[in-house]
Amino acid sequence: MPEITVYSTKNCPYCRMAKSFLDRHNIPYKNIDVGLSQDAAEEMVTLSGQYGVPVIRVDDEIIIGFDQTRLQNLVTKEQKETAYDVVIIGAGPAGLTAAVYCARKKLKTLIISENIGGQALASWAIENYMGFRMVTGEDLMHRFEEQVREEGIDLQLIPVTEIRAVGEHYMVQTANNQEYTTRSLILAQGKRPRNIGVSHEEEYIGRGLSICATCDGPLFQNKVVAVVGGGNSAFQTAIEMSGIASLVYLIIRSKIRADEIYEDLLAKKKNIIMYLNYEVVALGGSPMLQEATLRERDTKKTVVLPLEGMFAEIGWVPNTSFVRDLVDLNEDEEIIIDINCHTSKPGIFAAGDVTSIRGKQIIIAAGEGAKAALEVYSYLMTH
């Protein structure tokens, strides 16, 4: 058995998934919380070149992130089931809720997703979900996941690369070339973070630029960071990071779109500096992020900010690249559905933020997931 070390932070859902995977297969490992020790964080960065968790050391091999395919090779070669009544793409509020409803209807169900929790994982605090006065996105999705596990639903954490029709069924192919046949589909893959849109941006992912503040925030203890965005998530991130970092720049491209409650909270913080009507035009540093160049949109004046971390909170785009030729999309690349979650293709349903519904809220996504599951059951009973 290889010697395994997991470098993680307390609130990182991807870290939790990695450790849960190892636990399920009874594989011993050492966990190091890099959010509690600056020395441990620097050790992780030296090993991996990454300011992002999880980092998993398997003997002399370094695995960046929760890479289930590579971990799977360590533990088992078992052949999984490949034929299902319903395959659900996505494990956010919509997908997880749909899975529980499908399982209760005794449908053979598989969830395929890149993560568990989807966009909800990015929420530091949720205050409008019934039954909770306040809960973090990670904690809420952990409760969703526990209920799915209790139902014994198959779950594969890997990207989907293609879906195609095969007769009256559908074939779903994943990034490891595994194929699954299904009688029906629920598309609930949500959205992915929008890029900032500057040159060489991808080179800084994990090297100072992060799209998961709840995961990577603790790594920037007493450092100078920036948060890009003007909505609720950006303000939440800036407020939370003000208690971790020494200085936080909040960079807002146009106008403030956050609720007043977050504006009031931010105004009480003494180590947040706001750049309103500025856009990020360049990132610099090698190999780690060391600076960002901003440009004032009216005067075109530029400012160079020395910093060590940046969190992008500028919105989301639908994860619909692999279904573009399968179902009808609207001008925003969202899946068009009717009031009962039907797409343009028989046997394919959709729910949550990936769809054309206006409300993009966790509680709405969960409700839409339940609706989609019930429609799948009705469809299968009549076909």
Q: Active site residue: 12, 15, 102, 215, which one? A: 215
The C-alpha atoms of residue 157 and residue 247 are separated, in whole angstroms, by 36
139 is catalytic: no
Six-digit token string for 278: 């500025």
Q: Active site residue: 212, 264, 338, 353, which one? A: 212
Q: Active site residue: 216, 264, 328, 353, which one? A: 216
102 is catalytic: no
Six-digit token string for 114: 């890149």
353 is catalytic: no
Active site residues per annotation: 212, 215-216
